[in-house]
A and B are shown apart, each in its own frame.
Chain A
Amino acid sequence: MVETLLRVENVTKRFGGLVALDNVSLEVLRGERLGLIGPNGAGKTTLFNVISGIYKPEKGRIVFKDVDITGWPPHKITRLGIARTFQIVRPLSNLTVLDNVVVGALLREPDIGRAREKALEVLETVGLYEKRNMLAKDLNLVEKKRLEVARALATRPELLLLDEVAAGLRPREVDELVETLMELSRKGITMIMVEHVMRAVMNFAERIVVLHFGRKIAEGTPKEVANNPQVIEAYLGPQD
């Protein structure tokens, strides 16, 4: 019996007159790798912001580990086991790469020394160990994306929300990143990947949910989704 880790139930989020999320529901099983795709403005990042507590939904519920976390402040949600990365990277610019990750590790390990050890391990995993003493602002974009993942991982999440971590990467780098994420998945971390880079999401996800104008329009294996006429229409416009 596989446990449902996260349930998004009928979530609606509006910004003024714009409906960013329109009655969206989805479930994520423990250990699953879920892809979340859709054209620009489909509501993918908004959904992440709702799950991680940055936005409160007007309607619907978010249930994580059978706890209703709707409307919880972000820090409590993180403590319960959800971590996220940011699509537009947000490094702690004037701290070193190591200290960026130490801050994440301190959540579960209040001792600085042990948090540092833990952070170094995580930096090794994402391939930033050599850069650990640089200031975060001096990293290039690819490295900053990796730092986002490292910092989130250091909080030891059960559910990791990845917001376009493959954007701007070269194909080889995309494959490396997917490999790293697969390894984390094998360690038991559940992941939702928001992604435009199809090479990443198609190789990574076991199941894909497609959003379009704030609505869920399709759901299935990568192959099913790629052949779904509604999805093709959403991305390419009406086909004859």
Chain B
Amino acid sequence: MRELMRYARNPVVVLVSVLLLALPALFSMTGQPFYANMLFLSLMYGVAALAWNLMQGYTGMFSLGHAAFFGVGAYTVMVAMLYYNVSPWIGIWLAGVMAAVVGFLLGFPLLRLRSHWFTLATIAVGEIFKLAFAHWSYVGAARGLQAPIVGPSKALYYMQFTGPFVYVYVALLVLLVELVVLYRVVNSRTGYYLQTIREDEIVAKTLGIDTFRYRMLSLVISSFFTGLAGALYAVRFHYVDPFAVFDLITISTYIAVAGIIGGIYSFIGPLVGAFIFVPAAEYVRVKIVSAFPRVFGLHVVVVGVILLLISLFLPEGVMGYLKRKGYIKTG
């Protein structure tokens, strides 16, 4: 906790926090919902990318299947609300728990695999979830689930607000919880153990580390917070469908790309990466892709180009680069 306080005294951190808190209000006043939405998406992907990086950066498990946890989180909010009348304020946290349970169960087959075999299996898992949900009538099959529009008296209970601004603050709240938890995890014995596993699993074992247990812990915590990110998606858009929330490119890959751009050997890197990549991708989607409606898949090309540039000029990510150049010491 003392470490966390020291972090809180860092002027850059304070400045960024204040800006984040003030921005939605600013956008709201100047009538720029496009940018407020961009902010929301950056936060949502940031939450997921930080969670993803507990596995990638700290434990050395490269997942391209985080859409499974994201999607389960999104669906949990909707199912809880539509079928059990649970407010999304509670549904968000249920989403984390449900995603964590899914992560735990998937861990038994997945954790038998390592390196690229692990990655391939995570891709398969994401795709299997997409297809399974697309054929599961309880969750609306391919049509997905839509929240009904409620009157003003119930808007707070069902988390239905006009425009993106309130959702930005909800995302900030989730992010804050995540930062506190993850910061404590990575600076504890668990954090040391995860990094030891990343560096050399055999050595980890001979130092007394139950590597299966700690890899499982990494997966469960990661899927919990990725589920929260998916829940943010559901409350923001009031609508989930399998092809959106389980998408290999715009969910699984975007999360990984945000993490890689920001720097996987950095605590805060994936969040920074999300704030660089998501606005860029959004800008491309809204301003450029819509200008060329007949060029199918243009946004994927743009993502590819951004990744190519990063791997050429900033292979260690933005935060890694800043650290190497000595502009920042920790983070």
Chain A interfacial positions (CB closer than 8 Å to B): 52-54, 73-75, 78-79, 83-84, 86, 90, 92-95, 99, 102-104, 106-107, 110, 112, 115, 151-152, 155
Judging by beta carbons under 8 Å apart, are A94 and B207 in contact?
no
Q: Apart from A52-B206, A95-B196, A107-B208, what 10 extra A-B contacts exist at CB < 8 Å? A: A74-B202, A75-B209, A75-B211, A78-B206, A83-B206, A95-B199, A99-B195, A110-B189, A112-B192, A155-B208
Contacts of A151 in B (CB 8 A): 203, 207
Q: Decide if B153 is an interface residue (CB 8 Å cutoff).
A: no
Q: How far is the CB of A100 from chain B (nearest CB, A)?
A: 9
Cα distance, A52 to B206, chains bound together (Å): 7
Given A93-B199, A94-B265, the answer on whether A106 and B205 have CB atoms closer than 8 Å is no
Q: Could you say which residues of chain A place their CB within 8 Å of the CB of B206?
A: 52, 54, 74-75, 78, 83-84, 152
B193 contacts the other chain (CB 8 A): yes
**A50–B104 alpha-carbon span in the complex (Å):** 31
* Residues in chain A near residue B207, CB distance under 8 A: 75, 78, 83, 103-104, 107, 151, 155
Q: A75-B211, A112-B187, A155-B207 are in contact. Are A106 and B202 (CB under 8 A)?
A: no
A99→B192 contact, CB < 8 A = yes
> Contacting A103 at CB < 8 Å: which of B187, B193, B210, B265?
B193
Q: Bin chain B's interface residue count.
A: 20 to 34
How far is A79 from B205 in the complex, measured between Cα atoms in Å? 10
Q: Considering the chains assembled together, what is the distance between the CA atoms of A54 and B200 in angstroms?
A: 14
- Asked whether any CB of chain A lies closer than 8 Å to the CB of B188, the reply is yes
Report B-chain residues with C-beta under 8 Å of the C-beta of A93.
Answer: 199
Contacts of B205 in A (CB 8 A): 53-54, 73-75, 78
* Bound: A151/B211 CA distance, A: 17
CA distance A96 to B301 in the complex (A): 39
Specify which chain A residues have a CB less than 8 angstroms from the CB of B204 in the assembled complex: 75, 103
Q: Are B189 and A112 in contact, CB atoms less than 8 angstroms apart?
A: yes
Contact A92:B202 (CB < 8 A) given known A75-B210, A112-B189, A155-B207: no
A-B complex: 6 closest residue pairs judged by Cβ atoms: A78-B208, A92-B199, A74-B205, A107-B208, A103-B196, A79-B208
Q: Which of B192, B195, B200 has the most CB of A within 10 A?
A: B192
* Docked-complex contact B196 and A92, CB < 8 angstroms: yes
Residue among B188, B202, B204, B206 with the most chain A CB within 10 A? B206
Q: Could you tell me the distance in whole angstroms from the C-beta of A194 to the nearest C-beta in chain B?
A: 15
CB distance from A3 to the nearest CB of B (A): 23
In the complex, which residue of chain A has the Cβ closest to the Cβ of B3? A112
Interface string of B192-231 (1 = CB under 8 A from A): 1101100110111111111100000000000000000000
A53 to B208, CA, bound (A): 11
Which of B187, B188, B199, B203 has a CB less than 8 Å from the CB of A94?
B199
A213 to chain B, nearest CB (A): 26
